Structure 1
Amino acid sequence: MDYAVLLSSRERPLALVEYWPRRMWRVYVFDDRSWRMQMIDLTPHSTGMLLAHRNTRWQFHNEQEYSSFKWAVRETTTVSADGMAEVKSEFAGPRGTSTEPLHAGSSDPSPVRHFLVQVEDFLCPTPEFGNWLVFVPFLAQQGHEPAASVILSDGPEGEGSGPLRPTGIGQLFSPGARDTQDGPVVVELVQAGSLRITSGQLAVSDPGWVKDPRTVAVPSGEFPVTVSLLRTTRGVNVAAARVTFLDAPACEWEMALRPDEDLGLLGEGAFYGVGVDTGVVAFLDATRTVIEDKLDEDLFIPLESRFILELSGTEPEPNLIAFRAGRGDGSYPVWIGRTDDGQVACVLVDFQLHA
């Protein structure tokens, strides 16, 4: 679905990001007066990134002109996928405003210039929902100077904003150091092995309570499991775990629901999640069984000194990959990431230790 996100600082707008159908993006950038002075249209590029295809800037003489959007100068830069750039400058002479050219030495009232550019200079990553840091470099084009480390946090949404949304998932699986509101953290990614799915149903469950797991329909086969560790001054915890089914970005996220669960019944920030009573969560095939009498010896005791453990199954029988829940016992959301054509790209459980 289409949506818009406002990036602001100290209650002052910096950029408005819009996502449209067909994977199109538009970014409006504001100056220090909170005037909308720039519009950047981005389209998908063959590299999988976004191309800043069109960049429009305006100049206004005064607040009255801005309020009525009677610009004095408009400059539009268009970049094609093969690196051909066109810059067109327009001047509002008929309105009685300035007809001075935007570039010194130009006498044409609407000069158009063509030249080749490096396409790489006009590309930016395609963000997962919540990972708005990719748009921060555009702020410098209006004179905003981001700090060495930028902290993004959700602002208040007001009453009735609905159930929990998958905000910040991209950051959970982006390794490296960063600053947060709770202090510096380091995200480390650990490859936990391959999960064998034989039934076409992935189960996400506390391994001590596998009789009623949360399931997701997925392809059969073997798929990599990645665990995100969050290192802080207080220690290291598992922040999230993910099974990847397709080597393709997740364009949309949805909460994993049981047939009798209704998102419309959830209050603000609420979710249906996987229940945890043993401090451990596991990915497993829905047909995989466990021997409860051996769980302490085979799983829970070993996980006291490690973060991840695999219980193998005799091939072609499914295995089980378990990991410690970041906050211990409780309930945690399970998210399904889908490609733009609706296929399951990944499934992850978020322990809500946001980086």
Structure 2
Amino acid sequence: MILDSLDVSYGEMWGSYRGMTHPNPMSRSLAARKHAAGMDYAVLLSARDQPLALVERWPRGMWRVYLFDDRSWRTQMIDLKPHGTGMLLARWNTRWEFPNEQEYSLDKWDVQETTTVSADGQVEVKSVFAGPRAASTEPLHTRTSGPSSTPVRRFAAPVESFLCPAPEFGDWQVFAPFLAQQGHEPATTVVLNDVSVDEESGPLRPTGVEQLFSPGTCDTADGPAVAEPVDAGVLRITSGQLVISDPGWIGETPRTVAVPSGEFPVTLSLLRTARGVDVAAAKVTFSEIPPREWEMALRPGEDLGLLGEGQFYGVGVDTGTAAFMDATRTVLEDQLDEDLFIPLDSDSQFSVELPGPRPEPNLVAFRAGRGDGTYPVWIGRTDDGQVGCVVVDFRLRSADGAR
């Protein structure tokens, strides 16, 4: 069958997942903005509802192409990297053979053949045959358990045979010749048809942030719950810069908000459900005037226009805890376990203060919801644009109880 047209759809990266469609589709315009910003995304090329190629845009000008056979099995992966000519070089080309559908679903191949090409056209081909099988949880393209290898073949070839143009956004015809490697015959001219996806309504919105700290009953995904605001101490700010971070991973560019200097109360919103008590949100208050509007706390270079439906930039948590602190506050690693992590591991303690000698800043840490993840940080501004409060939402409930 000659392919004279391809359907094009866009989504988040998903090469490590099964499926015939994007698990997180996005509009063409959002994908174009991500392309311009150098961010990753995925392009699915299909025909008659059959996937043919999944093209992933990677950082630093890298691309990855997954090819599907006529059974819609993903049996080939090609990694392309920039070449000195301004083209892309098919640096690695890996094929897999599977004996049947069950083995394919388990990522258990019979043969894996990998072709490696150097920038000057030196080619190495290595075939690996699976030995005695055992259950494997490794990804398809990394599995090497129990194989025996045939001798490696090496030879020289014109490097031009392994080059393709580096595409501008929308120039997906450049990948059409790869389809022939799976028996799909592209026509000389291939028409691209964009699959319509509505423009996303945009990033996560700060709906009902102030209600996170209202006491009383509410509904959650775990059923009825009771919200209870509790005092978590006083935060001392000396530099006019508030940092919101995992205290174990502060990093070089933490999420920072310009705030007044002084001492300000910290409040936790506890959520009591049938499964226990969790910290649903944490707030540091800088003004008694209620916020008029909310905005997402952004780091330099973060662009809301690059976020899809319900997405957000947030604070990353890898130790199960988050903290408010002054930008000048330092943390000693050997102090964290005994003074912070161990106390917060108690069922009855939800926050910890690491004091600093006055007038030095302190640090107030607290449990991060139900553990590690990424959580939005909201800035509440008063009528005159001043920061009234800063809130970390651990996304266990919302104003209407939905999550």
Structure 1-normalised TM-score?
Answer: 0.54
Distance, in Å, in 2 between the alignment partners of 1:353 and 1:180 is 7
The match for 1:176 is 216
The match for 1:242 is 283
Sequence identity percentage: 76
**Pair 181,352 (structure 1): closer, same or farther in 2 beyond 3 Å:** closer
Amino acid aligned to 1:238: V
Check the 8 A contact 2:279/2:368 in 1, yes or no.
yes
Alignment of 1:98-247 (within 5 A): 160-180=200-220, 182-211=222-251, 212-247=253-288
> How many angstroms does 1:180 deviate by?
4.4
1:297-343 CA-partner distances (Å, limit 9, x unpaired)? 11111110021100000000000000000021010000000011101
> How many angstroms does 1:182 deviate by?
4.0
Distance, in Å, in 1 between the alignment partners of 2:298 and 2:268 is 22
Distance, in Å, in 2 between the alignment partners of 1:167 and 1:311 is 32
Distance, in Å, in 2 between the alignment partners of 1:255 and 1:327 is 22
Larger radius of gyration: 2
Distance, in Å, in 2 between the alignment partners of 1:310 and 1:350 is 20
Distance, in Å, in 2 between the alignment partners of 1:202 and 1:224 is 13
Distance, in Å, in 2 between the alignment partners of 1:171 and 1:239 is 11
Structure ranking higher on relative contact order (CA contacts 8 Å, 6+ apart): 2
Distance, in Å, in 1 between the alignment partners of 2:222 and 2:366 is 24
Distance, in Å, in 2 between the alignment partners of 1:218 and 1:172 is 22
The answer to whether 1:269 aligns with 2:310 is yes
**Pair 303,267 (structure 1): closer, same or farther in 2 beyond 3 Å:** same
**Pair 182,216 (structure 1): closer, same or farther in 2 beyond 3 Å:** same
1:290 aligns with one of 328, 331, 340? 331
Report SS of the residue matched to 1:302: helix
Amino acid aligned to 1:184: P
Distance, in Å, in 2 between the alignment partners of 1:271 and 1:260 is 14
The match for 2:371 is 328
Alignment of 1:33-48 (within 5 A): none
The answer to whether 1:281 aligns with 2:322 is yes
The match for 2:383 is 340
2:299 aligns with one of 255, 258, 263? 258
1:139-172 CA-partner distances (Å, limit 9, x unpaired)? xxxxxxxxxxxxxxxxxxx751100001121221
RMSD, aligned α-carbons:
1.2
> How many angstroms does 1:213 deviate by?
1.6
**Pair 180,276 (structure 1): closer, same or farther in 2 beyond 3 Å:** closer
Distance, in Å, in 2 between the alignment partners of 1:244 and 1:171 is 15
Distance, in Å, in 1 between the alignment partners of 2:280 and 2:318 is 17
Amino acid aligned to 1:163: P
> How many angstroms does 1:292 deviate by?
0.8
Amino acid aligned to 1:165: R
Distance, in Å, in 1 between the alignment partners of 2:321 and 2:386 is 28
Does 225-234 or 209-218 show the bigger shift? 209-218
Distance, in Å, in 2 between the alignment partners of 1:276 and 1:168 is 23
The match for 1:38 is none
The answer to whether 1:302 aligns with 2:343 is yes
1:115-139 CA-partner distances (Å, limit 9, x unpaired)? xxxxxxxxxxxxxxxxxxxxxxxxx
Distance, in Å, in 2 between the alignment partners of 1:300 and 1:181 is 28
Alignment of 1:73-112 (within 5 A): none
The match for 1:19 is none
Distance, in Å, in 1 between the alignment partners of 2:370 and 2:248 is 17
**Pair 182,214 (structure 1): closer, same or farther in 2 beyond 3 Å:** same
1:164-214 CA-partner distances (Å, limit 9, x unpaired)? 001121221100123446421100111111100000000000000113321
Check the 8 A contact 2:220/2:396 in 1, yes or no.
no
Aligned residues: 198
Distance, in Å, in 2 between the alignment partners of 1:301 and 1:181 is 29
Check the 8 A contact 2:317/2:374 in 1, yes or no.
yes
Amino acid aligned to 2:203: P
Structure 2-normalised TM-score?
Answer: 0.48
1:16-51 CA-partner distances (Å, limit 9, x unpaired)? xxxxxxxxxxxxxxxxxxxxxxxxxxxxxxxxxxxx
Distance, in Å, in 2 between the alignment partners of 1:271 and 1:292 is 29
Report SS of the residue matched to 1:208: coil
Amino acid aligned to 2:370: R
Which runs of no fewer than 5 residues in structure 1 stay unpaired? 1-157
The answer to whether 1:313 aligns with 2:351 is no
Distance, in Å, in 2 between the alignment partners of 1:181 and 1:272 is 23
